[in-house]
Structure 1
Amino acid sequence: MNTGQLPLNNPEIRSIQMAENLLDIYATIIATSCYGIVLVKAETGQIAICNQQFLMQSGEKAQNLIGTPIWEAVPPELKTRTKTIFNKMLLKDEITGQQHFTGCNNASCYLEYSSQRLNLNDEIYVQIIIKDITRYIKREHSLKASVTKYKIKFNNLMAEYESTRTQLKEYSHKLHEMTNAFINAKEDERKIIAIELHDRVAQDLISLGHQIESLKHISAYKDTADIGELAKKAREALSSTRDIMKTLYPISLTRYGLIETIAQELNDFEATSNVSTRFKSCLTTKLDPAIENTLYRIFHEALLNIQKHSLNAHNVTVLLEKKGQTVEMKIRDDGDGFNIQNISGKEPRGLEIMRQRALLLGGNFGLESFHHNGTEIWVTIPVDSLSA
């Protein structure tokens, strides 16, 4: 009997065999894993077992790794860090983290690791599971780069939008100033024409009327019927001239405002026609003079159209109210109405003029008319259309 040999029933032999069997079983279990797995002795840091996936990750053969310290089985740039991480693994039951290194062809590689301490037959091992996450990290970087790219593009677009918006505000302000100046210039021109009509034509017609009346007292013309007809035509011409003056420059609008002027004209219209009028206003504040001028012009033109073209009209209703940041005016009659499609472009009857007046102040104009069912026009104008 060889004294250097131990009997087979020796407890130490059974313990070693059991340990070897456990390691064999462990190696079999981890062999088919899709992750790299390595079992490291806690006391020495040497690799005890590793699977094929780990060998592929490290690029080494099994015989070159078994017994090698774990920090010697990694790229040189990771050696110091790996040793530090392994020491942390010895202090905690579980630990996770990531490693980045430069692989072949200077390509960036990323690994995710997790560790767990195991006790096999009273010997402590550290199991390290390694997952190659290079593809996911690169995809994440690509997504971040795309997000950054589109974020920069979005910010540039927003900057352009804000710049354009600022320019539009400036242009809008200039347009408002030009519109206001244009309307004021137009009103000044109308005023000058109205004054000229008053000082020249109207005064001449008044003088002519007086001269015709004086002819009645001259015996040579006393029995002439034409004198009365001439006097009538002179009065009619004077009345028409005054109507034109009123249209060109409504003095009452400047003196009393829009509401009083509309109310007075409706009363005059009712007194000289067989039409009943109704006026309702919900305005509580005075509007910009240019807006009041525009609304009055549209109202006056609509009233003339009713007088000239609305047959069998017995009622006229005017509504003036403020809705939010706009002022709205509606004018309705119960006359015969007409087919809008039949309106000639060459004979707008003032409708196109009314529309243009509203559009000039950024407003809207609408018309509804049905045969034997009356006509309604409406206009809306922003109350701040001429604000600074």
Structure 2
Amino acid sequence: MENLTKILIPRQMFLLLVLSTGLLNHVILIPNLLKASGRDSWICVLIAYPIAIIFIWLLHYIIKHSSHGGFFPMIRYRFGRVVSYLFTAPIILFLITSTYITVRDLVIWLSAYFLAETPVIVINLLIISACYFITLSGIKYMAISSGFLLPLVVLLGIMIAVVNTSVKDPNLLFPVISDGYLPVVKGVMYVLAGLFEVYIVLLLQPFAQEPIKFKHLFILLTFLTMLIFGPLTASIMEFGPIESKHFRYPAYEQWRILNIGEYISNLDFFALYQWLSGGLIRISLFMFLLGVFFAKNKRERLNIKLVTVLFLLLFSSLLIKVETYYFYKFIYLYFLPGIMMIFLSQTALAALIVFVLKKRDEHNAKNNKMESTT
């Protein structure tokens, strides 16, 4: 494993986040967005995008004016451990919950479509084992792997979008706002839950070799927005707004109707590549970040014993039987709205703290300059 400092360039961070956060936006978010807003869900994406631009402007302000080691080490240095723990607790809760939901949702999908006769515990064990070794390999190798995996994931997405054009009916996207504005407002909240995951850049800042610029965040946000908008509109145009709401995995259902000519069909195994690429990277990255948060020395290598304990706890939690209905109800009612509020409040508070510290440092520097002059 490499050391935990300055090992990524912005392009590698971009690839890593698109692959990991893209799974949330592409798989977990879309069915909940359709449930909340139905036909108007694609309008919600267009409304949420400019709001998210304001969000990344605040995020860039925090990154730009934080110390060289990142925002969270700066908070710990300036305010002490207690304040630092209070500030990082919601983020740790998000990482733990999101990791559990990603694994659980991935296992449910695999069991339903590909491994129906395989015991769930075996699927859990295989996924956890793979992610364990990926996490121990380090964030640099995750980023390098993402550079190889993501291009094919994108090409497959473009392929399914183009080939399924013949079965799309754009008229199914209209009329809009036929049920009033409340579904649109709810839908915007769910879209922002996915787009606000750009916040993870703040967690990766200590690993960046170069400054993270606004254009990096803007490109990342735009790409994540496209990952929602593309399959969402395709699902409505292919299946209709009512039928799309009944699908648990609308993006996957688009693979099931894919046909190329008369003799090529049943290409949904390509979806397996997309899902596993995003899922394994997302789980491994979040467990890596948890290991960094709990590490005593932020500059040393990950503690293998600590990572092992975290994965054993994750595997143990997966052994607890949870009804699928309540699992998805929790995601819809609590998880997605909750992470939207966490990212929004954390970013606003962080921007305020950085602004106050910046003004105080400028004031102290001015006083010191006057004293030295006199």
Q: Give the TM bin, normalised by the shorter chain.
A: under 0.3
Bigger strand share: 1
Larger Rg, first or second structure (1 or 2): 1
Bigger helix share: 2
TM-score, structure 2 as length reference: 0.19
Asked which structure has the greater RCO (Cα within 8 Å, sep 6+), the reply is: 2
TM-score, structure 1 as length reference: 0.19
